[in-house]
Amino acid sequence: MSSLGTLLISGHAAGFGDALESRFKAGGYTVVSVARSAGTRWATDLRDPQATERLFEALDRNAPPLAGVVHNAMQFHRAPFLQTSAQTLQDVWQSMVLTAFNVSRQAIPRMQAARRGCLIFSGASGSLRAGPEFSAFSSAKFALRGLSQALAREHAADGIHVAHVVIDGLIRSQRTAQRFEGADTAHMLEPADLAEQYWQIFRQPPGAWTQELDVRPMPGAH
């Protein structure tokens, strides 16, 4: 069966990234997962605009035409404000916002040429509200949400669907268990369930596009 196009997962991590990859492959797409770590074919530092451009040029040569992007790049940081350095703030912002900017700068012209495509940005509870010790993380997530809204309004007429997903809860994974020791494991988002929501957004008809979706695990759901 021929591919429906390439889905780029920018900021792939085990757990949810794996679930996204499985869902979109099952739906007929070629999936390219990108992470900063070395050792994989598509390892790229998406904070670097030149490296990001080279990635998309390689995709043009070696993969089917770009159908969409799921942007998951994240750097979690929790610390009191007075213990958060300017460098830390910059690092967190670059990991989540600058990466989204660089990827979008490459993806959008390709989608404009095709008159179709989908960009989905992964947000968090901190995209809407900021708690103590989340000054760096939430300020970056707020910025990512603003970028998503701006792109949605600017490029809808180009046939490009831009959506922001507020993930209001923890996603079940080994990394989550290590990072949030003692968290209520009974009330976590299942990666496959969340990936299905992204799939539904990706396949929406233009007459009913979602620009923002918030999802959360409900007590007693599992």
pLDDT score at 21: 95
pLDDT score at 170: 79
Is the pLDDT at 110 greater than 80, yes or no? Answer: yes
Average confidence score pLDDT of the chain: 91
In sequence order, the 6+-apart residues with CB closer than 8 A to the CB of 193 are: none
| Percentage, residues of the chain above pLDDT 70 | 90
Q: How far apart are CA 74 and CA 137, in angstroms?
A: 9
pLDDT score at 169: 81
pLDDT score at 174: 60
Q: Per-residue confidence at 171, pLDDT binned at 50, 70, 90?
A: confident
Domains of the chain by start residue, with CATH: 6-215 (3.40.50.720)
Query: 46: which 2 tokens?
Result: 């998406």
Q: Per-residue confidence at 32, pLDDT binned at 50, 70, 90?
A: very high
